[in-house]
Chain A
Amino acid sequence: MIRFDAVTKEFPDGTVAVDDLSLTAPTGKITVLVGPSGCGKTTSLRMVNRMIEPTRGSIALDGQDTGRMDQAELRRGIGYVIQHAGLFPHRTVIDNVGTVPRLLGWDRKRTRERSRELLERVGLDPHLADRYPAQLSGGQQQRVGVARALAADPPVMLMDEPFSAVDPIVREQLQDEFLRLQDELGKTIVFVTHDIDEAIKLGDQVAVLRVGGTLAQVAEPSYLLAHPADDFVADFVGRDRGYRALQFQDAPRLPLRSEHTVVLGEPPGRTDAAWLLVVDDERRPLGWVEPSRIGDRAVEDADLHRGGTVARAGGSLRGALDAALSSPSRRGVVVDDSGSLVGTVLAHEVLTAIEDTDRPERDEGDPVHGGAVATPQDGG
């Protein structure tokens, strides 16, 4: 657990970057610091591993005041990932990953084994181990950066906009893999980003900071979307709040209707439907076709209309609503966990389900406004 206790950072020229910040980052959870430029999020992060020293206040790691610890030893116990990875260009990938273990005195063999293991964990091809950072793409470099941070298995990770410097497609992949990794590892993570959507996607707890370094609100993402504390937070969280909040609400049992289907490669058969769902031999949906254009011949790949998204049964309301809205037939496709068709749902049915669902209650998920964030026991 990381605890900020009335932390303030004032620079010699008078700028107050962080103002009286008190915040707890629970063990084993991802706490995201988010806010506009100048809100002190990066400064706050860098005070945890003392890359910047607080002017007032203290930061405690599992109860121990970081200010009293040896700087270098403190940092060796914290994983540090920055934008642009900051890899050492003169060392190979595998040597980069092994940096902290070597600093801690591990022998070469053990370090190399561990490094290889981590490279695999972050999804990198093992033959990249002996390459140099300059030969890697941005996304690959970032993965190496994460592997390096994990090498000595630190309980705490600090991440400063680690996914901002890559393009959106790569960013999404990295985010998904990061969540998967965290599922396996359960580290205590403080993550900084300027992107509210990233914050909502990744955070167990999101702290919104204002310009001038004050804390505006800290809460679970769903709560933040539903109950922004003031105009600044509301503005920052942005539009489509209602829609985006739906991703946190599981779809209750939606009324599903069965759907006539045709298997790819067979003719549509007699039907009055304007749109027909095409599946493969395992009943996995492939797309929609218009029988009127096909007539008696077999349905081919080129006929498929792939515009609709597919929702998982038991997934979120957002997924279900989007499936209905995006489908050309206006019937949202729902599948089970193996991807096989379960049925379809109409938009108004989803909306009815939404209206019947309770919104997160005020004071339930907002520690700043008197509630408690449910966390597992801290310590150890």
Chain B
Amino acid sequence: MIGSLLAWFTDPANWSGDDGIPYRLWQHLWYTAVTMLVAALVAVPLGLWVGHTGRARWLVSLANSVRAVPTLGLLLAASLWLGPKLPGDLAYVVPSIGVLAILAVPPLLAGTYGGIGAVDPSARDAAYGVGMRGRQVLWQVEVPNALPLMMSGVRSAVLQVVATATIAAYLGLGGLGRFIIDGIKLGDYAEAAGGALLVALLAIGLEGLLAFVQRRVVSPGLTGRAVGGSRNDDEREGREDPADATVDLRTPA
């Protein structure tokens, strides 16, 4: 098995053209990016609004309950419903992206809302007290402090999308999942396994990248990484590193 797998990876034919590895990788990343953009446009303002004003919290619970619905089911149902109504490729691209975006919203929403909620209330009070207006409080104080959880939400969402996009290949969507689906259909295990390994590597790679971005973007004052200082009057307890807050917000896929 390993032998044929290696053969698949070293076959130059698999590295060129529309069904080659680079193109499929590009497709997968493209779908992920588009989905994240769409989902963020909905989830982030909504999450900021719910967190900042404290209203409509039920929206967050609703979003979280999506977790129980099987992803495959959503994809297939959406495709069956919308497919006949759309021409050509759109027949599977639109329902796929639509479901991808819907599944990316809950973790983003939960991360944004949770992040704003985790902001120290006295810091918020002080922000108003020193004379910041609502918008200034939001952007200068709440968002920077919400970043750890927001980034955590972004990470969950990205992985969610990568995983679902893989499955969407069943509907015909491009991306690395196609190797898996095509491989299974043709009985070519090497192709399927090759695709699976690539997907796994992509997922791990993105996770690592985002973890790095999170470390860079979140203020050191929040991560507890900045060490030192003279604590000569009272004992302070060690804090857990909020940069690693792994509230797993993904819907399973």
Contacts and interface: CB of A to CB of B under 8 A. Distances in A.
Any A–B CB pair closer than 8 Å: yes
A167 B125 contact: no
B186 interface: no
Interface stretch (B127-135, B158-166, B177-185): B127-135
Interface stretch (B63-71, B95-103, B216-224): B216-224
Given A166-B233, A167-B234, A134 B131 contact: no
B227 A89 contact: no
A316 interface: no
A137 interface: yes
Contacts of A91: 219, 221
A170 B234 contact: yes
A170 to B, nearest CB: 5
Interface stretch (A69-77, A193-201, A346-354): A69-77
B253 interface: no
Given A86-B125, A88-B141, A90-B219, A132 B226 contact: yes
B226 A137 contact: no
B222 A90 contact: yes
Contacts of A345: none
Interface in A133-153: 133-140, 145, 148
A148 B126 CA distance: 10
Contact of A134 (B136, B147, B226): B226
Contact of B144 (A90, A131, A138, A166): A90
B229 interface: yes
Interface string B199-227: 00000000000000000000111101011
Contacts of A87: 123, 126
Given A88-B141, A90-B221, A91-B219, A137 B126 contact: no
Nearest to A91: B221
Nearest to A93: B221
B219 A148 contact: no
Contacts of A128: 229-230
B131 A73 contact: yes
A84 B120 CA distance: 11
Contact of B122 (A76, A85, A125): A85
B236 A137 contact: yes
Contact of B231 (A49, A75, A132, A137): A137
Interface centre among A80, A85, A170 (most CB of B within 10 A): A80
A82 B123 contact: no
B145 interface: yes
Contacts of A131: 226, 228-229
A99 B120 CA distance: 17
A354 B147 CA distance: 63
Interface in A66-111: 72-77, 80, 82-92, 99-100, 103
Given A51-B129, A72-B131, A87-B126, A135 B227 contact: yes
Given A72-B131, A75-B129, A82-B126, A92 B221 contact: yes
A375 B2 CA distance: 92
Among A77, A132, A145, A169, chain B packs the most CB atoms within 10 A around the CB of A132
Given A72-B132, A132-B219, A135-B227, 12 more contacts: A76-B130, A84-B122, A88-B141, A88-B145, A99-B130, A103-B131, A133-B221, A137-B229, A137-B236, A148-B130, A166-B234, A170-B234
18 contacts: A72-B132, A75-B129, A80-B130, A85-B126, A86-B120, A86-B129, A89-B120, A90-B147, A103-B136, A132-B221, A133-B221, A134-B239, A135-B227, A137-B230, A138-B233, A145-B126, A167-B233, A170-B234
